């Protein structure tokens, strides 16, 4: 028995050891690492459901909605779940395609994440987000999906709020659009990460993009307790979402509508027109009243995810790239509208304000003849009349003289370049800083620009000058191109006399955007200060409290005296009444509203002229600056000026109800009732 006792004692020790091991390990798991497991338990036991915040509306200056929300049934697909299926979800998608009436291939492409070799409309959002496939499903279709979940695994139909555009196509490019948040955006913006959800959309262009943070609001959170199968057991924590703020803009939706209509009519009136823009600024505040671009598109196209065809259409040459706003991205030679800058440059260069200048039919610049419009001599003119009658030769002559003063072909160390620098002072050659993304800067072709261009292109030009253009069928044209290449190769870095002459009347290489031109005119006719225009006016909380008013910053001053400025403005005030636009404004009640302005007809090599009209009204203490541009629209007086006239007629209610009472724009923000409705402005 002693042997057995000994062995039992051994067992005793073993049992004690095992008990101690268990106790120590329990202490380690539950007490030492307890907190860690509490965290992990919370992670496994709960699901955070993001409750998206209602996005703020974009309102016009009187509180009328430009973009608002409506609730819609949205069908979305959980990609991750589909990809785990044996057939990668093809069966589910084909069933879904039958219900939604969309081709399977289209649905498949829309759920494929964007990447190399994957074209639009691929999925730009996170691979873990459900992909919305249709935002316009009917109740019947939604029920079909919801009632037979076993046949549609990974597909949901939920009520979401989607954007609605009461103005239809009006200002589509300016308003912008929403698209699902990309992972890159999430990384970039810390605040976005917290409010990330499966249905999160971010502004991708236009006002929606620039004011995204204000409009977005703050998503709420519902922490739901779930079981192993993901079934919800109860709500553990709830944070209500904070709705986004409204953006009150200075856009007047009535003026915007009038502007869109006038632009559309102008486009139709010119047979070759391939694009146009119209800008209406409030000369007293520096804000944008209307911004239109043609061709336009219906922003509803973005709803529910854009289709492959839809996206291609928005960017195709055939449709005229309606996604691109000509008002801020269209860069065209400004033609004679540019002469306000040239007159100012002449004054800066010392030409007398009250002098008399000869306007012959033609002047020789660098050995080449530069003609007036149709070569008609206009006699001796004051600068005032030079603008009214749009004489070219006076400006050619002055620009050429300044060119020679700078040293001509072989410039001094520091050429003055009076014309180019004055153009810059008028805000050309740089973005206006408007609150829209992707604005173009236009182009001032000065000596530096020429040099840089030559550095970039001389290799090709020089090769062409040797080899010619054998692929060109027209021999005369091939010969011309070869000579051009040779000239560009040998002296392309030089600003030639002709370049400077062309620049003075807004032809040649100079490019401006309609918005740049409008704000240059605004500076000239208001107070000589160059402003960075704004569309956004105020950020207003849904309960009506104004969070902030968006100021219109002054970014420069025209380098001319008040007397000179008023002289130019006075000259322009006569154009519509007696000058080049007199025909277009025939019958317009000038005694009621006097409109001033300047026509522009810019020649484009190989294309029809660009038609411009830059204007302001009333000439005494102007309220509006209106610029219209029609690409390939012909003469300024022919296409753009009538469009501008129509805009003024709409605003002031000539032969119809005025869009703006008394033509006077509101200076007060709309008032909101506490429930968020507009009480009246």
Partner 1 sequence: MTARAVTIRQPSLWRRMAREGSTVRRLDGVMLVAVAGLCVIGTLLVWSCTRTWAPGSTGLVKKHLLNEAIGVVLCAIVATIDHRAMRAYAPLVFLLSLVGLGLVITPLGATINGSHSWILLGGGFAVQPSEFAKVGLVLIIAMLLAQPAEGSDRPRGLDVMLALFAATITMGLVMLQPDLGTALVLAVITAAGLIIAGVRKRFIGVLALIAAVGVFSVFYFQMLEPYQVARFTAFVDPSVDPRGVGYNSTQSLIAIGSGQLLGKGLLGGGQTTGRFVPEQHTDFIFTVAGEEFGFLGSVTVVLLLGVVLLRGLKIARECDDRFGTLVAGTIVCWFAFQSFINVGMTIGIMPITGLPLPFVSYGGTATFANLIAVGLLQAIRVRRQSFS
Residue 105 touching partner 1 (CB under 8 A): no
Instruction: List the x/- string, 167-206, binding to partner 1 by CB under 8 A.
Output: ----------------------------------------
Residue 36 touching partner 1 (CB under 8 A): yes
Q: How far apart are CA 170 and CA 681, in angstroms?
A: 22
Q: How far apart are CA 525 and CA 594, in angstroms?
A: 13
Q: How far apart are CA 63 and CA 603, in angstroms?
A: 42
3-class secondary-structure state, position 24: helix
Closer to partner 1 by CB, 18 or 194: give it: 18
Closer to partner 1 by CB, 40 or 607: give it: 40
Closest contact distance (angstroms) between CB of 247 and partner 1 is: 43
- DSSP codes, 393-442: HHHHHHHHHHHHHTTTTS--SS---HHHHHHHHTTTTS----SSTT----
Number of Cβ within 10 Å of residue 665's Cβ equals 22
Which one, of 199, 244, 280, 192, lies nearest residue 59 by Cα? 244
Residue 22 touching partner 1 (CB under 8 A): yes
Count of residues in contact with partner 1, rule CB under 8 A: 39
Number of Cβ within 10 Å of residue 306's Cβ equals 18
Applying CB under 8 A, which part among 2-10, 120-128, 376-384, 403-411 lies near partner 1?
Answer: 2-10
Q: Pairing state of beta strands 624-631 and 275-282? A: antiparallel
Applying CB under 8 A, which part among 23-31, 169-177, 476-484, 622-630 lies near partner 1?
Answer: 23-31
43-102 binders of partner 1 (CB under 8 A): 44-45
Closest contact distance (angstroms) between CB of 222 and partner 1 is: 17
Residue whose structure tokens are 């964007």:
114
Applying CB under 8 A, which part among 92-100, 224-232, 367-375, 642-650 lies near partner 1?
Answer: 224-232
Q: Which residues pair with 287 in a beta bridge?
A: 282, 534
Residue whose structure tokens are 């009658």:
389
Residue 668 touching partner 1 (CB under 8 A): no
Closest contact distance (angstroms) between CB of 20 and partner 1 is: 9
Q: How far apart are CA 512 and CA 602, in angstroms?
A: 11
Closer to partner 1 by CB, 4 or 586: give it: 4
Closer to partner 1 by CB, 12 or 368: give it: 12
Residue 621 touching partner 1 (CB under 8 A): no
Q: Taking a C-beta distance cutoff of 8 angstroms, is the pair 514, 280 a contact?
A: no
Question: Which of residues 70, 86, 140, 228 is near partner 1 by CB under 8 A?
Answer: 228
Residue 128 touching partner 1 (CB under 8 A): no
Closest contact distance (angstroms) between CB of 220 and partner 1 is: 22
Token pair for 2: 């002693």
Residue 18 touching partner 1 (CB under 8 A): yes
Q: How far apart are CA 521 and CA 267, in angstroms?
A: 23
Token pair for 230: 């993901």
Closest contact distance (angstroms) between CB of 41 and partner 1 is: 4
Question: Which of residues 27, 143, 268, 309 is near partner 1 by CB under 8 A?
Answer: 27
Quote the radius of gyration of the chain (alpha carbons, Å).
33
Residue 21 touching partner 1 (CB under 8 A): yes
Closer to partner 1 by CB, 27 or 480: give it: 27
Torsion of CA 421, 422, 423, 429, to 10 degrees: 40
Residue 37 touching partner 1 (CB under 8 A): yes
Closest contact distance (angstroms) between CB of 231 and partner 1 is: 9
Residue 26 touching partner 1 (CB under 8 A): yes
- DSSP codes, 132-188: EEES---HHHHHHHHHTTTTSTTEEEEEEEEEE-TTTTTTHHHH--EEEPBHHHHHH
Closest contact distance (angstroms) between CB of 11 and partner 1 is: 6
Closest contact distance (angstroms) between CB of 225 and partner 1 is: 7
CA dihedral for 228, 232, 235, 241, sign (positive or negative): positive
Closest contact distance (angstroms) between CB of 227 and partner 1 is: 4
Closest contact distance (angstroms) between CB of 31 and partner 1 is: 5
Q: How far apart are CA 209 and CA 58, in angstroms?
A: 12
Residue 237 touching partner 1 (CB under 8 A): no
Residue ranges that bind partner 1, judged by CB under 8 A: 1-5, 7-8, 10-12, 14-16, 18-19, 21-23, 25-27, 29-31, 33-38, 40-41, 44-45, 225-228, 233
């Amino acid at each position: 028995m002693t042997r057995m006792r000994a062995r039992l004692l051994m067992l005793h020790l073993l049992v004690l050891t095992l008990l101690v091991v268990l106790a120590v390990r329990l202490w380690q798991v539950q007490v030492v690492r307890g907190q860690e497991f509490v965290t992990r338990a919370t992670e496994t036991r709960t699901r955070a459901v993001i409750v998206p915040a209602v996005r703020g509306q974009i309102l016009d200056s009187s509180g009328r909605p430009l973009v608002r929300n409506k609730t819609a049934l949205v069908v979305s697909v959980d990609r991750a779940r589909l990809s785990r299926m044996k057939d990668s979800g093809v069966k589910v998608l084909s069933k879904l395609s039958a219900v939604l009436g969309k081709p399977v291939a289209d649905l498949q492409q829309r759920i494929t994440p964007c990447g190399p070799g994957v074209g639009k409309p691929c999925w730009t959002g996170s691979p873990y987000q459900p992909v919305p496939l249709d935002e316009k499903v009917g109740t019947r279709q939604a029920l079909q999906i919801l009632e037979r979940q076993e046949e549609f695994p990974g597909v949901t139909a939920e009520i979401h709020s989607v954007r609605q555009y009461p103005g239809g196509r009006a200002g589509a490019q300016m308003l912008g659009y929403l698209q699902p948040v990309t992972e890159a955006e999430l990384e970039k913006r810390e605040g976005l990460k917290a409010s990330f959800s499966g249905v999160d959309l971010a502004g991708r262009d236009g006002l929606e993009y620039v004011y995204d943070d204000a409009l977005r609001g703050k998503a709420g959170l519902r922490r739901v307790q779930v079981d192993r199968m993901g079934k919800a057991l109860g709500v553990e924590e709830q944070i209500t979402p904070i709705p986004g703020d409204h953006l009150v803009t200075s856009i007047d939706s009535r003026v915007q509508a009038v502007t869109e209509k006038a632009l559309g009519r102008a486009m139709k009136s010119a047979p070759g027109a391939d694009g146009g823009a119209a800008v209406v600024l409030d000369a007293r505040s520096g804000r944008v009243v209307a911004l239109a671009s043609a061709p336009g598109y219906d922003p509803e196209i973005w709803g529910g995810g854009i289709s492959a065809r839809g996206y291609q259409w928005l960017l195709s040459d055939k449709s005229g790239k309606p996604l691109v706003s000509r008002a801020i991205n269209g860069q065209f030679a400004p033609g004679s509208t540019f002469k306000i800058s040239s007159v100012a440059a002449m004054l800066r260069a010392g030409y007398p304000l009250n002098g008399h200048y000869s306007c012959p039919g033609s002047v020789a610049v660098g050995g080449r003849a530069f003609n007036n419009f149709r070569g008609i001599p206009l006699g001796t003119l004051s600068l005032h009349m030079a603008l009214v009658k749009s004489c070219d030769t006076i400006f050619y002559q002055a620009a050429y003289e300044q060119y020679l003063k700078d040293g001509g072909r072989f410039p001094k160390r520091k050429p003055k370049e009076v014309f180019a620098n004055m153009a810059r002072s008028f805000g050309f050659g740089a973005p206006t800083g408007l609150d829209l993304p992707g604005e173009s800067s236009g182009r001032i072709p000065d000596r530096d620009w020429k040099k840089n261009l030559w550095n970039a292109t001389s290799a090709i030009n020089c090769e062409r000058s040797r080899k010619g253009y054998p692929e060109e069928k027209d021999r005369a044209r091939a010969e011309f191109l070869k000579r051009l290449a040779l000239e560009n190769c040998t002296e392309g870095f030089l600003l030639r006399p002709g370049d400077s002459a062309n620049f003075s009347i807004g032809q040649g290489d100079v490019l401006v955007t309609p918005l740049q031109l409008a704000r240059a005119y605004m500076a000239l006719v208001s107070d000589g200060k160059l402003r960075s225009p704004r569309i956004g006016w105020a950020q207003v909380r849904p309960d009506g409290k104004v969070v902030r008013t968006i100021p219109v910053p002054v970014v420069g001053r025209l380098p001319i005296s008040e007397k000179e400025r008023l002289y130019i403005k006075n000259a322009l005030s006569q154009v519509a009444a007696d000058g080049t636009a007199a025909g277009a404004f025939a019958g317009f009640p000038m005694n009621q509203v006097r409109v001033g302005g300047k026509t522009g007809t810019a020649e484009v090599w190989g294309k029809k002229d660009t038609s411009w009209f830059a204007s302001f009204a009333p000439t005494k203490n102007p309220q509006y600056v209106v610029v219209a541009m029609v690409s390939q629209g012909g003469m300024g007086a022919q296409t753009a000026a009538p469009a501008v006239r129509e805009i003024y007629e709409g605003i002031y209610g000539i032969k119809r109800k005025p869009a703006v009472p008394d033509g006077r724009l509101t200076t007060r923000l709309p008032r909101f009732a506490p429930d968020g409705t507009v009480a009246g402005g």
